[in-house]
Structures are given as structure tokens and as C-alpha cells.
Amino acid sequence: AQKVTQAQTEISVVEKEDVTLDCVYETRDTTYYLFWYKQPPSGELVFLIRRNSFDEQNEISGRYSWNFQKSTSSFNFTITASQVVDSAVYFCALTILYYNAGNMLTFGGGTRLMVKP
């Protein structure tokens, strides 16, 4: 079975601070995909990034960056110079390469990020 743990349930920062959201996953499979989603107050989940288990390169997209480390089974998400609009719940999710079984995501419990002006 797969498991995703987001130990930080809530984080509060002041605008322009950097913040890192942790994600630790468990799976016995060697081929898998990791995702990050953002859930703003409106409720709809917004896709941020996908990473496969064979690609450990870090990725940067504007103020967002992701650090994937297989050695520690972690896929952490950093927001640089946070803004009030970053306030949301962020979910980390995992899916394994399971032929014909569909893309079944296992979600972490989420981290609520509050950015104060």
C-alpha cells in the first residue's frame, strides 16, 4: 500500500518569507509519480507539478521549486518570497505504475499555508 505524509498541518508566514512544505511518501514500487496540488479557498484543486520516480532533478517554476530525493522518500515544495495569494491548502499525492488500474492517487493530509501581509 502507498502512503503520503505531510507532517505540517498548518504553517503561518509573513509575506515575502520563504516557506517549505514537506512531503514524505512510502511505496514498494520502483515506478511511481508524485504530484503537488493547491486548493485555494474556492475548493477546486489546481495541479502544480508532476514528477516521475526516475527523474530526481529539482524543478523551479517562478517562485515555486521542488526538491525530490529518493534516498529520503521526500518531495518537498518551496515557495520563495511568499505572497498572500499563496494562502491555500497544499496536497502532495502519489500514484504507482499499475497497468490498467487507472491513475489512482493517494493523497497526504494537506498543509494549510497562511501568508499574512
Q: Shortest Cβ distance from residue 40 to other proteins (Å)?
A: 11
Lookup: cell for 90: 497544499
65 near 80, Cβ under 8 Å? yes
Cα gap 92→109, rounded to integer Å:
8
Choice from 13, 15, 24, 33 touching other proteins (CB under 8 A): 33
The site that binds other proteins (CB under 8 A) totals a number of residues, namely 28
Nearest to 43 by CA among 13, 109, 88: 88
Nearest to 54 by CA among 5, 97, 24, 100: 97
81 near 56, Cβ under 8 Å? no
Q: Shortest Cβ distance from residue 104 to other proteins (Å)?
A: 6
Measured from the CB atom, the residue of 18 and 29 that comes closer to other proteins is: 29
Cα gap 94→76, rounded to integer Å:
13
Measured from the CB atom, the residue of 109 and 116 that comes closer to other proteins is: 109
Q: Shortest Cβ distance from residue 16 to other proteins (Å)?
A: 27
Instruction: Please list every residue from 35 through 64 that binds other proteins, using CB under 8 A.
Output: 35, 37, 42-47, 50, 52
Q: Which residues bind other proteins (CB under 8 A)?
A: 4, 6, 9, 33, 35, 37, 42-47, 50, 52, 91, 95-98, 100, 102-105, 107-110
